Structure 1
Amino acid sequence: MFKTMMIIGTLLAMGFSLVSGTKKGVDEVMTIEHDGRTRQTIIHLPPEIKDEKLPVVLVFHGLFGNGNYTKNTYGITEVADKEGFISVYPEGTGPLNSVFLSWNSGFCCGYAMENNVDDVSYIYELIVEIINSYPVDETRVYLVGLSNGGMLAYRLVSCYPELFAACAIVSSSPAGGTDENAIVMIDPPDRGVPLIVFHGMKDPIIPFEGGFSSSSEANGMYFPPVEESVEFWATKMGASTVQETQHENGLVILKEYTGKDERSLVHFYMITDGDHTWPGREKGLDALNSSSEATIKASEMIWEFFRDKSLR
Structure 2
Amino acid sequence: MLKTLVIAATLITMGFYLVIASKKGVDETFWLNHDGIDRKTIVHLPPKVEDDSKLPLVFVFHGLLGNANYTKNTYGITEISDREGFIAAYPEGTGPLKSVFLSWNGDFCCSYAKENEIDDARYIVELLKELKRNYPVDENRVYLVGLSNGGMLTYKLVSEYPELFAAAAIVSSSPAGGASEDEVCRIEPPPKPVPMIIFHGMLDPIIPYHGGYSSASEETIFFPSIPESIDLWIAGMNAVELEETSLEGGKVLLKKYGRPGEDFEIHFYTIVDGDHTWPGREKGLDALQSSSKSSVKASELIWDFFRDRRLE
TM-score w.r.t. structure 2 length? 0.91
The residue that corresponds to 2:18 in the other structure is: none
Give the residue type in structure 2 aligned to 1:53: K
Contact 1:107–1:113 (CA under 8 A) maintained in structure 2: yes
Is structure 2 residue 47 aligned with structure 1 residue 47?
yes
Q: Distance in 2 between matches of 1:23 and 1:258?
A: 37
Give the match's secondary structure for 2:206. Answer: coil
Q: Distance in 2 between matches of 1:144 and 1:138?
A: 16
Q: Distance in 1 between matches of 2:228 and 2:266?
A: 13
- Relative to total residues, which structure has the larger helix share, 1 or 2? 2
Q: Structure 1, residues 253-305: CA drift from partner, whole Å, max 9, x if none?
A: 00100116635411000000000000000000000000100001000000000
Structure 1 residue 235: Cα displacement: 1.6
The residue that corresponds to 1:33 in the other structure is: 33
Q: Which region of structure 1 is more displaced relative to structure 2, 143-152 or 44-53?
A: 44-53
When the two chains are superposed, the root-mean-square deviation of aligned CA atoms in Å is 1.3
Q: Structure 1, residues 211-247: CA drift from partner, whole Å, max 9, x if none?
A: 00000112x1000000111111112112123411000
Q: Distance in 2 between matches of 1:130 and 1:23?
A: 23
Q: Distance in 2 between matches of 1:242 and 1:273?
A: 24
Give the match's secondary structure for 1:138. Answer: strand
Q: Structure 1, residues 170-204: CA drift from partner, whole Å, max 9, x if none?
A: 00000000011111000110111000000000000
For 1:21-170, list aligned pairs within 5 A. 25-50=25-50, 51-170=52-171
Q: Distance in 1 between matches of 2:262 and 2:70?
A: 34
Q: 1:261 to 1:98 in 2, by over 3 A?
A: farther
Structure 1 residue 77: Cα displacement: 0.3
Q: Distance in 2 between matches of 1:111 and 1:93?
A: 7
For 1:1-312, list aligned pairs within 5 A. 25-50=25-50, 51-218=52-219, 220-259=220-259, 262=262, 264-312=264-312
Contact 1:237–1:264 (CA under 8 A) maintained in structure 2: no
Give the residue type in structure 2 aligned to 1:162: E
Q: Distance in 1 between matches of 2:196 and 2:252?
A: 17
Q: 1:24 to 1:251 in 2, by over 3 A?
A: closer
Q: Which runs of 4+ in 1 moved over 4 A?
A: none
Structure 1 residue 23: Cα displacement: 11
Give the residue type in structure 1 aligned to 2:168: C
Contact 1:192–1:263 (CA under 8 A) maintained in structure 2: no
Q: Which has the larger radius of gyration?
A: 2
| Fraction of identical pairs, as percent | 63
TM-score w.r.t. structure 1 length? 0.91
Q: Structure 1, residues 126-154: CA drift from partner, whole Å, max 9, x if none?
A: 00000111111100000000000000000
Contact 1:27–1:43 (CA under 8 A) maintained in structure 2: yes
Contact 2:273–2:292 (CA under 8 A) maintained in structure 1: yes
Give the match's secondary structure for 1:193. Answer: coil
Give the residue type in structure 2 aligned to 1:33: N
Q: Distance in 1 between matches of 2:137 and 2:107?
A: 29
Structure 1 residue 88: Cα displacement: 0.3
Give the match's secondary structure for 2:163. Answer: coil
Q: Distance in 2 between matches of 1:287 and 1:159?
A: 32
Q: Distance in 2 between matches of 1:301 and 1:178?
A: 34
Structure 2: unaligned runs, 5 residues or longer: 1-21
